């Protein structure tokens, strides 16, 4: 079976939104999206504003439900289908596997910056002293001034908030990283630091799926692009049943859920999810 070393794999995913506050209007966004990201590979999503790039990352992170298809994430010898996983299983993935830098930082009021960055490690049971050390090292690397470490990022500048967001994810050293415009508010010097840190994550074997509007930056951080426009629905309508069934960027001959490498598949059933915890 062709396994291909993937860490993240989307199979024929379709997504629409029902706008309950607007008479139940239905907005069809994506149809039949398939892609895979291997260990140590960096893939960029491209396409015009509003095409569905952020929605893809949110579906993978478990924030948005999908209409159809599967989203498979592999780590620690386990394959999870995010689309059918229990809430506890999604939290497990977020703790151990999936790091996500959102396009817009949701700042947690009153929690100091250092604590925010330490949290991914504390949640995994890392010793607080060690977690603090690692968080501070990343904050220094990202040039967040020490005087800000004990303050909540609520009042920080856009670039400072974005760096806190990135620091939190980088400190976690997640096997799969989802990056939504991670450098959009950064000055050139900080952008370079983030590019270098992304490079190091790749060397560690992290699988990256990101959105980068700057084409030059995209070329530097990603080795392959997926044009989301190829999976966009041509019009917002009730009819989204037509699919071509093909994979856009690479041929994935293995469409079965069995990962074929001895790892356990927990896609689907709640009993399988329970085994994870
Ligand atoms: N929670 C939501 N409810 C309703 N519609 C949504 C929601 N999230 C996204 N959409 C719609 O889905 C479409 C895709 O949005 P998305 O944010 O994924 O685009 P994008 O490609 O990331 O755009 P940009 O480059 O501007 O960030 C848009 O038409 C948007 O209005
Ligand atoms: Mg977006």
Categorize the per-residue pLDDT at 233 as very low, low, confident or very high, splitting at 50, 70 and 90: confident
Q: What is the CATH number of the domain that holds 95?
A: 3.40.50.300
pLDDT number for residue 241: 39
Tell me: pLDDT of 245 over 60: no
Measuring from atom 5 of ligand 1, which residue has the nearest CA? 17
Ligand nearest the Cα of residue 59 is 1
At 106-150, the pLDDT tens digits run: 777 789 999 999 999 999 999 999 999 999 999 999 999 999 999
Question: Considering the chain, what is the average pLDDT of its residues?
Answer: 84
Tell me what the mean pLDDT of segment 154-174 comes to.
Answer: 92
Distance CA 27, CA 15 (A): 9
3-class state of residue 140 by DSSP:
helix
**Confidence band (pLDDT; 50, 70, 90) for 240?**
very low
Inside any domain, residue 59:
yes
Helix extents (H) in 78-157: 87-96, 113-123, 128-141
Q: Say if 1 falls within a structural domain.
A: no
Overall domain count for the chain: 1
- Any domain includes 146: yes
Residue at token pair 């426009």: 229
Range of the domain at 40: 6-275
Q: What is the pLDDT of residue 234?
A: 61
Instruction: Quickly list DSSP for 14-33.
Output: EEEEEEGGGTTEEEEEEEEE
**φ and ψ of 85, to 5 deg:** -70, 150
Pocket of ligand 1 (CB under 6 A): 17, 19, 27, 29, 47, 49-55, 103
Examine residue 229 and state whether it is found in any structural domain, yes or no: yes
Mutate to test the pocket of ligand 1, among 13, 20, 21, 29 (most ligand atoms within 8 A of CB): 29
| pLDDT, tens only, 71-107 | 999 988 899 999 999 999 999 999 999 999 987 777 7
Burial of 122 per CB tally in 10 Å (0-12, 13-18, 19+): middle
205/198 Cα distance (integer angstroms): 11
């Amino acid at each position: 079976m062709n396994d291909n070393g993937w860490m993240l794999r989307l199979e024929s995913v379709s997504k629409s939104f029902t706008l309950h506050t607007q008479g139940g209007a239905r907005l069809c966004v994506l149809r039949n999206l398939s892609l895979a990201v291997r260990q140590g590979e960096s893939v960029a999503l491209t396409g015009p504003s509003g095409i569905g790039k952020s929605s893809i990352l949110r579906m993978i992170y478990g924030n948005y439900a999908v209409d159809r298809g599967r989203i498979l994430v592999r780590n620690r010898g386990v394959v999870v289908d995010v689309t059918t996983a229990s809430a506890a299983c999604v939290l497990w993935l977020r703790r151990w596997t999936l790091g996500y830098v959102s396009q817009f930082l949701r700042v947690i009021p009153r929690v100091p910056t250092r604590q925010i960055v330490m949290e991914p490690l504390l949640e995994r049971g890392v010793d607080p002293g060690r977690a603090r050390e690692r968080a501070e090292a990343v904050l220094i690397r990202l040039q967040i001034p020490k005087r800000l470490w004990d303050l909540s990022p609520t009042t920080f500048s856009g670039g400072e908030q974005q760096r806190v967001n990135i620091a939190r994810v980088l400190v976690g050293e997640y096997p799969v990283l989802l990056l939504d415009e991670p450098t959009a508010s950064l000055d050139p010097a900080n952008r370079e630091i983030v590019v270098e840190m992304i490079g190091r994550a790749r060397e560690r074997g992290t699988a990256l799926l990101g959105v980068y509007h700057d084409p030059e930056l995209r070329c530097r951080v990603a080795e392959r692009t997926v044009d989301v426009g190829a999976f966009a629905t041509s019009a917002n309508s009730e009819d989204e049943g037509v699919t071509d069934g093909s994979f856009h960027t690479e041929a994935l001959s293995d469409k079965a859920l069995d990962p074929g490498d001895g790892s356990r598949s927990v896609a689907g059933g709640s009993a399988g999810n329970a085994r994870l915890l």
